[in-house]
Structure 1
Amino acid sequence: MSAKFGLINYNSSRKHISISIPSATEVMSPHIKSVEELRVLGINLSGFNTVVQFFICVSGVFVFYLIYGYLQELIFSVEGFKPFGWYLTLVQFGFYSLFGLVELQLTQDKRRRIPGKTYMMIALLTVGTMGLSNTSLGYLNYPTQVIFKCCKLIPVMIGGVFIQGKRYNVADVSAALCMSLGLIWFTLADSKVAPNFNVTGVVLISLALCADAAIGNVQEKAMKLHNGSNSEMVLYSYSIGFVYILIGLLCVGGLSPAVTFCSQHPLKTYGYAFFFSLTGYFGISFVLALIKLFGALVAVTVTTGRKAMTIVLSFMFFSKPFTFQYVWGGLLVVLGIFLNVYSKNRDKMKLPSLVEIRELLWSRRRGRLLSQNV
């Protein structure tokens, strides 16, 4: 209901000026009312402080994606399944779209707020990172594939500079270098004790890495600019991606052989794929929450730590050769994660920067040298 107020009439010829005041129900749309709320799988994170929000998101990422990684390797351990990585991605995108539709129906505001063109680009990048990653497992062993995917920290930083105009400090750059060096060391060790490299697999996972590096920054920019929800992002990006993959499989004739094979092993293919997709959907919901709350770089750092844990579980549950070079490479990755966490919490905890630490160490060293000379 609106109230109108006019200027006082001094004469009959003077025109009135009216001012409309919207009622309480018209002040803001239902979406704007819920912008402050951030729900992940029905959990309202808005009532928690930043530390608790971070802990909940990280716990969700680790729990669901560790199960996700185990099921992914389990599916590709089924004899004869390795050529059907793209079909697995199609099934995965179908389940994601269904889960996203169900979750969106449970929300109050069901409108699409991010433009369709943006979703078409996000869907293309999502198809690239997940489809190429799944397909690469037909040519590479699982730890090698995970190691390559962990190297996306530097491309994400580069993407942040060019896509969002971000600037990173010395600690962030040092973290990226430590993690990359550790992952390279891990890969070299793997090539010595378990040489299972294939040029096709390396090309596929490298292309997936490039797409994966870009998608976090594009999602972060779109969600912050249009206040898109997690369920909306999942529904539209994966449903459009489902259409992309379906058209591609129909064009190359890869749909019929995959359907025939999976129909012969429904429990080990569609059964595993359902739980694989379910845990992946839960995991991506927490990743999107991390992106929205803390940015793409923090999300990538957390998912990189999760990948390192996935590698450990892969060695535990699936027989593989082992060398201590894996440990040294993993320690470098952990150092990189520590540097990144240090960089993000330095201002809140009033910690000195790397430059200040270096100057302090240099001044102490110079003082010792002067005292020795005296």
Structure 2
Amino acid sequence: MGAEEEKRDEAKLELRILCFDLSALPAWGQFLVCCFGVFFFYLIYGYFQELIFHLEGFKPFGWYLTLLQFALYTCFSFAENQVCKGDRTRKIPLKMYMLIAFLTVATMGLSNSSLGYLNYPTQVIFKSCKLIPVLIGGIIIQAKRYGCIDVTACLCMSIGLIFFTLADSSVSPTFSLYGILLISLALCADAVIGNVQEKVMKQYSASNTEMVLYSYAIGTVYIFIGQLLTGQLVEAFNFCLEYPLYTYGNSFIFALSGYLGVNIVLNLIKSFGALVAVTVTTCRKSLTIVFSFIFFAKPFTYQYVWSGLIVVLGVYLNIYSKNQAAWNAKVKEILSGKIFEKKVSPTLRSSDHIV
């Protein structure tokens, strides 16, 4: 082994997942740990999310599942904040967290609720197409102009979504236009929250742990009040008590795996940059869809495959348009085998690939 190769193998990046410092591992080892974590925890997340909705009678209680998820995320982030060393002072004003919490509730609540009316693969495909409401909103509200690559990416996503949805409506007995409405509204809220989070985190230099703790804690209060006012809280609670292990047990695993997955994705972005992060998370989403068809019996058509690939093409065109110079340089690093030689700056917001 030459001196240059030895130097490359010994290259290390600063990496901390929760309270565990993995900086002692070489960069390639850190990358493998992050990849394994993303695939492992998000595959568990998707499996248990779909499994919960397979319980007969649970379909109307998507918001109650979101309440459990928000409460558990709050507990996990509070425990992490107490155990791990770091600055525990809140930096972002509460009024900003109230807005962020509202958008987070809308994003995750509507997304969870849509699973009562849609196939899980359809939900995943829709969640990959945040660019569509962002681009439309930018044109209508801010009179923005977009380049050819952005427009092409949006067209690819739109065409892929249309054909994927048509395939779902023709073969799935559970297809519902109401589910499409729910996931579309969730997509719009998700497009807004990314900009808000990015702005306030830069302005106040807040940590990811703080953002998760306060946004989900306030969001828990929002959902709890909403469930009380609609009268669904008692009904959902009594229903879940009939199947405590199935509902609460699976919900705990669902929330824990989602929380751990979020942490690992954030570290993957921070340490290895946009190209690597998007590649890993896109592969993860594709594998999640494949596993959904394997573990949960549902009709299949090859239209799912080619329409999904069109959406993936749109996702990559969108990310490439924002980072052309960085991506071209990163591709050269990959081709030359130097991908793990140095740390790169993050070029994506955390909200761009969570779940």
What TM-score, normalized by structure 2, do the two folds share?
A: 0.76
1:115 aligned partner = 93
2:341 aligned partner = none
1:134 aligned partner = 112
1:98 aligned partner = 75
CA deviations 1:209-241 (Å, max 9, x no partner) are 111112222222222222211211111010000
Aligned mate of 2:103, from 110, 122, 125: 125
Aligned mate of 1:223, from 201, 226, 251: 201
SS of 2:306's equivalent in the other structure is helix
1:272 aligns with 2:286: no
For the aligned residue pairs, the C-alpha RMSD in angstroms reads: 3.6
1:372 aligned partner = none
Q: Which amino acid aligns with 2:40?
A: V
Instruction: Determine if contact 1:262/1:269 at 8 Å carries over to the other structure.
Output: yes
Give 1 or 2 for the bigger CA radius of gyration.
1
Distance 1:55 1:226, change over 3 A: farther
Q: Unpaired segments of 5 or more residues in structure 1? A: 1-35, 352-374
Aligned length: 316
Higher mean C-alpha displacement, 138-147 vs 171-180? 171-180
CA deviations 1:8-37 (Å, max 9, x no partner) are xxxxxxxxxxxxxxxxxxxxxxxxxxxx97
Task: Report the Cα distance in structure 2 between the residues aligned to 1:83 and 1:52, rounded to whole angstroms.
Answer: 44
Task: Report the Cα distance in structure 2 between the residues aligned to 1:251 and 1:86, rounded to whole angstroms.
Answer: 13
Q: Which amino acid aligns with 2:183?
A: I
Following superposition, the deviation at residue 171 of structure 1 comes to: 4.0
Task: Report the Cα distance in structure 2 between the residues aligned to 1:89 and 1:115, rounded to whole angstroms.
Answer: 24
Aligned mate of 1:79, from 56, 62, 65: 56
Distance 1:136 1:280, change over 3 A: same
Distance 1:177 1:293, change over 3 A: farther
SS of 2:301's equivalent in the other structure is coil
SS of 1:319's equivalent in the other structure is coil
Distance 1:214 1:48, change over 3 A: farther
1:191 aligned partner = 169
Following superposition, the deviation at residue 101 of structure 1 comes to: 0.2
Which protein has greater RCO, CA pairs closer than 8 Å, 6+ apart?
2
Task: Report the Cα distance in structure 1 between the residues aligned to 2:115 and 2:184, rounded to whole angstroms.
Answer: 13
* Identical-residue share of aligned pairs (%): 65
1:346 aligns with 2:328: yes
CA deviations 1:278-322 (Å, max 9, x no partner) are 001112223444676789999778655533322111001111111
Instruction: Determine if contact 1:96/1:277 at 8 Å carries over to the other structure.
Output: yes
Aligned mate of 2:39, from 46, 62, 66: 62
Q: Which amino acid aligns with 1:243?
A: V
Aligned mate of 2:126, from 121, 124, 148: 148
Instruction: Determine if contact 1:127/1:245 at 8 Å carries over to the other structure.
Output: yes
Task: Report the Cα distance in structure 2 between the residues aligned to 1:162 and 1:298, rounded to whole angstroms.
Answer: 33
1:235 aligns with 2:235: no
Task: Report the Cα distance in structure 2 between the residues aligned to 1:304 and 1:248, rounded to whole angstroms.
Answer: 34
SS of 1:196's equivalent in the other structure is coil
Higher mean C-alpha displacement, 260-269 vs 136-145? 136-145
Following superposition, the deviation at residue 136 of structure 1 comes to: 1.5
Distance 1:203 1:334, change over 3 A: closer
Following superposition, the deviation at residue 339 of structure 1 comes to: 3.9
Q: Unpaired segments of 5 or more residues in structure 2? A: 1-12, 334-355
Task: Report the Cα distance in structure 2 between the residues aligned to 1:41 and 1:172, rounded to whole angstroms.
Answer: 35
Task: Report the Cα distance in structure 1 between the residues aligned to 2:74 and 2:31, rounded to whole angstroms.
Answer: 26
1:245 aligned partner = 223
1:369 aligned partner = none
Distance 1:309 1:227, change over 3 A: same
What TM-score, normalized by structure 1, do the two folds share?
A: 0.73
Following superposition, the deviation at residue 62 of structure 1 comes to: 3.1
1:335 aligns with 2:313: yes
Q: Which amino acid aligns with 1:310?
A: T
Task: Report the Cα distance in structure 2 between the residues aligned to 1:218 and 1:51, rounded to whole angstroms.
Answer: 33
